[in-house]
Chains A and B, each alone.
Chain A
Amino acid sequence: MTTNTIEFDDVTKVYGDDMVAIEDVTYGVEKGTTTVLVGPSGCGKTTTMELVNRLEDPTEGTVYYEGTDIQELDRIQLRREIGYVIQEIGLFDHMTVGENVATVPELKGWDRDRINDRIDELLDLMDLPPTEYRDQYPRSLSGGQRQRVGIARALAGDPDVLLMDEPFGALDPITRETLQNEFLEIQEKINTTILFVTHSIDEALKMGDKIAIYDVGEVVQYGTPQEILESPANNFVEDFVGADRGLKRLQVTQVKELLAAPVKEAESGGRGVAVATDGNGSHELSPTDSAQVALSRMIQYDVETLPVTDDGRVVGEIEKSDIHQIARTEG
């Protein structure tokens, strides 16, 4: 329990007399990781998240925050330690972007200079140049920009935990993907514990270190994206993940995991000739590319093998059969 920032211990939430939202939910969220709560609508994933910042209280069971029963914590103080991003974004339209971002720091009583520095830092991080955006009003922004402000606002108070309820749900597919990718990069820098709710299994596989799959009020499987793709716990998970889970596995597998052993530098000199670029783009792969990208390039260039380079140096080679192997394995 010590390494888990948040711990759900046999938690049940009943609304009214008999509307069971979640039942016997038990799992832990490790510090600094992203856990995605995914499932069809009405499955209780949002309710689970709302237990963390005490927008709801459990009917039975206990939620622990840093090892303390959450019921013993002051809910206002707790919420100020937890960043919160919702699908509707909920920006304060009567305040400027800067004022929106300053909300939690102001509630916490930071001094003006520190708040101002924090606003600029976060707007920079979210790719919204402060000189341009700080004094604008939210209504003049696009959907994607508004959600960036929403995330900046949630991060402003230096939260230990970030709750994100379908943060990219209302965005168009292109903006969504851009923001997902940017957020993955930001996540590496901030090292915050994140709880992320979505109904999209693709988003879950992409964003999550761990995934909790919900079916009407119950967690049916909790594990890493690989575990879920390799061995779905039951038919529901199998259906939910989709018939193309072999391909999805390619998405969550990075090229570097396929390299049998790092190629020695001396050898790489000899193989360096394999690196070739043409007008259509690069043939070589980076270790962080997904197996899906590798396969798509192999098809595109009609080759059986592709070199993997890191910082311009060849570190290995991927064969098409390696990729087939991942997709084929049945759990």
Chain B
Amino acid sequence: MSAFVDAWHYFTGNFNEFLTLLQEHLFMVVIAELGAIVVAIPIAILAVQNDRTKRVVMAVGNVSQTVPTLAVIALVYPLLGIGFNSAVFGIWLYALLPILTNTVTGIEDVDEGTVNAARGMGMTDLEILRKIQIPLALPVIFAGIRTSSVINVGTAYLAFFIGGGGLGVWVITGIQLFNTPQMLAGAIPGAILAITADLLFASIERYLGQDNDAQVGVAA
């Protein structure tokens, strides 16, 4: 128990440094996430237009997710050197996958009858995508964004290894110096951050899903 008390003392004693690290951490997470959303969703939408590209994207997506986060960071280092940019790139790369796979799955899983009805009524492929598939896939796409955001909070701890800063500075230094209070002071805020991000996105997801699902209870 005393480790937590010590951690609290370390935390309050170095609060200004904490704010700097937190800011770096959040900055990496948010930039990488936004970049991932902007890139992954359009790629996924293009990929579902064709069976082969879809299979390739899903295969790459699923295999890539088995590569350890640390390996991704390690791979980025020889390519882009050290610093904030390489760290963001590594996190971004890892954040792409859940969004990519969820967007593909979400669009694919839209009921075939619904798409057939839309096509038979005279919607063009673009209209089907815009008015039917994407709106119906939105909750699933958002679940991907939620997963990747939470993953990002964890991945960003490893940024320290390539000079990216963030809360990893305290955690990894703490581990190396056997300074448990410092390690915990860096780790606990990260855990809280991940949970907060998850809850925040969950509530947005619920709001998005409302049109589709909230009425299910009434039907029974």
Q: Identify the A interface with B (CB < 8 A).
A: 53, 55, 76-80, 82, 84, 86-94, 103-104, 107, 136-137, 139-142, 150, 153-154, 163
Q: Is the CB of B215 within 8 A of A163?
A: no
Contacts of A103 in B (CB 8 A): 118, 121, 123
User: Cβ of B119 < 8 Å from any Cβ of A?
Assistant: yes
B104-140 Cβ-contact flags toward A at 8 Å (1 or 0):
0000000111111111111110010001100110000
Q: Is the CB of A94 within 8 A of B122?
A: no
Within B133-149, the residues touching A (CB, 8 Å) are 135-136
Within B176-217, the residues touching A (CB, 8 Å) are 211-213, 215-216
Residue of A107, A142, A150 most packed against chain B (CB within 10 A): A107
| A187 and B118 alpha carbons, distance in the complex (Å) | 23
Q: Is the CB of B117 within 8 A of A89?
A: yes
Main secondary structure of the interface of A (DSSP, over half): mixed
User: Cβ of B5 < 8 Å from any Cβ of A?
Assistant: no
Q: Is the CB of B215 within 8 A of A137?
A: yes
Contacts of B115 in A (CB 8 A): 90
Contact of A77 among B111, B116, B122, B215 (CB under 8 A): B122
Contact of B118 among A82, A88, A92, A136 (CB under 8 A): A92
Q: Is the CB of B122 within 8 A of A107?
A: yes
Given contacts A139-B215, A140-B219, contact A90 B118 (CB under 8 A): yes
User: Cβ of B1 < 8 Å from any Cβ of A?
Assistant: no
Interface residues on B, range: 20 to 34
Q: Is the CB of A84 within 8 A of B117?
A: yes
User: Cβ of B218 < 8 Å from any Cβ of A?
Assistant: yes
Contact of A86 among B116, B132, B211, B216 (CB under 8 A): B116
Contact of B113 among A55, A78, A89, A142 (CB under 8 A): A89
14 contacting pairs across A/B (C-beta < 8 A) = A77-B122, A79-B121, A86-B116, A86-B120, A87-B113, A88-B111, A89-B113, A90-B113, A92-B117, A137-B212, A139-B212, A139-B213, A139-B215, A142-B219
Contacts of A90 in B (CB 8 A): 111, 113-118
Main secondary structure of the interface of B (DSSP, over half): helix
Q: How many Cβ-Cβ contacts under 8 Å join chain A to chain B?
A: 83
Could you tell me the distance in whole angstroms from the C-beta of A71 to the nearest C-beta in chain B? 17
Could you tell me the distance in whole angstroms from the C-beta of A99 to the nearest C-beta in chain B? 10
| A154 and B127 alpha carbons, distance in the complex (Å) | 18
| A293 and B121 alpha carbons, distance in the complex (Å) | 39
Could you tell me the distance in whole angstroms from the C-beta of A79 to the nearest C-beta in chain B? 3
Q: Is the CB of A104 within 8 A of B121?
A: yes
Q: Is the CB of B121 within 8 A of A141?
A: no
Other than the given A84-B121, A140-B215, A153-B121, 4 more pairs (CB < 8 A) read: A82-B120, A84-B117, A104-B121, A150-B117
Q: Is the CB of B124 within 8 A of A55?
A: no
B120's nearest neighbour on chain A, judged by CB, is A84
Could you tell me the distance in whole angstroms from the C-beta of B219 to the nearest C-beta in chain A? 5
Contacts of A53 in B (CB 8 A): 120
| A272 and B119 alpha carbons, distance in the complex (Å) | 58
| A87 and B113 alpha carbons, distance in the complex (Å) | 8
Q: Is the CB of B211 within 8 A of A92?
A: no
| A84 and B132 alpha carbons, distance in the complex (Å) | 17
Q: Is the CB of A91 within 8 A of B219?
A: no
Within B69-126, the residues touching A (CB, 8 Å) are 111-124
For the complex of A and B, 3 pairs with smallest distance between CB atoms: A88-B113, A90-B117, A79-B122
Q: Is the CB of B136 within 8 A of A76?
A: no
A83's nearest neighbour on chain B, judged by CB, is B121
Within B38-69, the residues touching A (CB, 8 Å) are none
Q: Is the CB of A76 within 8 A of B212?
A: no
Could you tell me the distance in whole angstroms from the C-beta of A17 to the nearest C-beta in chain B? 19
Contacts of A137 in B (CB 8 A): 211-212, 215
Could you tell me the distance in whole angstroms from the C-beta of A194 to the nearest C-beta in chain B? 15
Q: Is the CB of B121 within 8 A of A94?
A: no
| A76 and B219 alpha carbons, distance in the complex (Å) | 35
